[in-house]
Structure 1
């Protein structure tokens, strides 16, 4: 194999692997919903999570993309705590946001 073929093969394999893990990550998070404070009155408080957007991205990202990334990370952490509901505790500031985690029936 020449060097160019190896490069494209490796790039393709990395892209496929990343896409598979991203799909799993997103599927796990679908059970965790973002709600308003008034919607969690009868829920059990489990804790808080603070998430920060990852700095590894080379391209400029919009605030909406950063907010989506932070919410996905918070959903993942909420699921690890046994939660199924998030409520925003703070606004998104400099790529970081805190959420309250609840378990609701």
Structure 2
């Protein structure tokens, strides 16, 4: 029984490693991720909080994959709100992260 559980856990971990599930929209591909000191001349558009699965069947997803998916969601969202740039506000927590949205090109 323990061996079966161990093998199942290893299989799930290997299947989720390197898996990103959020695809950038064509508009999202144009959005940029910048630091706060790089948006001083941009027009602020508010914030967006996005969320993705941080675990799969109780097994934590790799941090890199969670961050990639969060940024992809935020980049897709900023374009829908008339912006072109996002700035992370803090670190991801339990698969959730807030981003400031800006219009930097033709503000």
TM-score calculated relative to the size of structure 2: 0.68
| Residues 33-83 of structure 1: CA deviation (Å, up to 9, x unaligned) | 000111100000001000011479557521100110011011111110011
Mapped partners of 1:56, 1:29: distance in 2: 25
Mapped partners of 1:89, 1:36: distance in 2: 9
| Alignment match, 2:27 | 28
Ranges in structure 1 where 5+ consecutive residues have no aligned partner: 1-21
Superposed CA RMSD: 2.3
Mapped partners of 2:50, 2:93: distance in 1: 11
Within a 5 Å distance, the mapping from 1:53-92 to structure 2 comes to: 53-54=52-53, 61-92=61-92
Mapped partners of 2:94, 2:54: distance in 1: 11
Instruction: Judging by fraction of residues, say which structure has more helix.
Output: 1
Look up the SS of the partner of 1:30 in the other structure: helix
Q: CA, structure 1 residues 46+61, in 2 after alignment: closer, same or farther (shift >3 Å)?
A: same
Instruction: Judging by fraction of residues, say which structure has more strand.
Output: 2
Mapped partners of 1:55, 1:94: distance in 2: 6
Aligned pairs, number: 84
Ranges in structure 2 where 5+ consecutive residues have no aligned partner: 1-20
Q: CA, structure 1 residues 56+38, in 2 after alignment: closer, same or farther (shift >3 Å)?
A: closer
